[in-house]
Amino acid sequence: MELVCPAGNLPSLKAAVDNGADAIYFGLRNDTNARHFPGLNFNEKRAAEGITYARDRGKRVFMAINTYPRPEGWQRWQAAVDTAADLSVDALICADIGILEYAHRRWPDLPLHLSVQASGTNYEALQFYYDNFGIRRAVLPRVLSLSQVSHVIENTPVEIEVFGFGSLCVMVEGRCILSSYVTGQSPNTYGACSPAEFVEYKETPSGLESRLGGLLTDRYELGEQAGYPTICKGRFAVGDETFYAIEEPTSLNTLALLPQLHQAGIKAIKIEGRQRTPAYVGMVAKVWREAIDASLSDPDNFSPKAEWNRALNQVSEGATTTLGPYYRPWQ
């Protein structure tokens, strides 16, 4: 079971490698990837340095082109695929059918992974990408229970990677446009959900308010920790109640499920967070390395150490974690 860690810059990549990642994924400094944030990501030179650093230490590097080009941006996405081939990354993670087609035809030896943003939730959908583009691996959206994940694995020829830890996307990835509904920019079109330039915090007589694109996402009482105004994690009114109508600010953490995930045949665990610091990446990689090794060496007696969960909670949204959709009652 491979540990796949995020890198938003070279120090993060090194932190991941040094702390036990088996593979690292990154994106370029533009809207071809879904963490298109200011000051983040790699140019070609930095990417080459990172790849050398990882390869020298026996690790693999994947590049993500996981947004959807519109005609006006097509050449930029195509160029990104060519860059990945030039860098000879170990795999290219893609979502768009047109881009998968281009990568497959132009660079037949470049291994392709299906991004979570492609929304492939079932084995029939994965078969489409396998038959047409020969994808080797697919990252499953965070919508399936553990038994559903197992069922996909039993019926697909492609390797399956799932999310283990990080910010929890509650919606089926690649088919959520709440962000553009409010701001005009979505992960699919722009590479960012709830982009920072639309975020606003303001002290008011009724408390601290957070807004996205002018829309009130939450109001905080004195002493309450204010979260990032991702739309799906705000407090809204439904009927007579005001509450986290979609999801609380929380992160996904599946440490406790490691033996079952391995048993199910999961080939890789993905850590979310290319937008986080090198310290975050290093710490999370270290915890997960220890946990994966422990679960593989003695799966029957595995239980997550309290110190692991403590460390992970500290860097989680709202300082709490959930098993998310893997745990049926969450749904």
CA distance 246 to 263: 31
Burial class (CB in 10 A: 0-12, 13-18, 19+), 200: middle
Is residue 53 a contact residue for other proteins (CB under 8 A)? no
Is residue 101 a contact residue for other proteins (CB under 8 A)? yes
Residue of 43, 88, 242, 303 interacting with other proteins (CB under 8 A): 242
Is residue 156 a contact residue for other proteins (CB under 8 A)? no
Angle at 111 between CA 106 and CA 116, to 5 degrees: 105
Nearer to other proteins, 53 or 220 (CB): 220
Contact by Cβ (8 Å): 194, 169: no
Is residue 208 a contact residue for other proteins (CB under 8 A)? no
Is residue 309 a contact residue for other proteins (CB under 8 A)? no
Residues pairing with 63 in the sheet: 26, 92
CA distance 204 to 270: 40
Contact by Cβ (8 Å): 66, 95: yes
Contact by Cβ (8 Å): 149, 266: yes
Binding mask 121-140 for other proteins (x = CB under 8 A): xx-xx-xxx-xx--------
Residue of 1, 177, 208, 311 interacting with other proteins (CB under 8 A): 177
Q: How far is the CB of 261 from other proteins (least distance, A)?
A: 17
Sign of CA dihedral 65, 70, 74, 76: negative
Residues 249-308 binding other proteins (CB under 8 A) are none
Nearer to other proteins, 5 or 176 (CB): 176
CA distance 219 to 51: 44
Is residue 163 a contact residue for other proteins (CB under 8 A)? no
Residues near other proteins, by CB under 8 A: 68-72, 74, 95-99, 101-102, 118-122, 124-125, 127-129, 131-132, 142-145, 148, 151, 170-172, 174-178, 180-184, 186, 188-189, 213, 215-219, 235-239, 241-242, 245-247, 325, 328-331
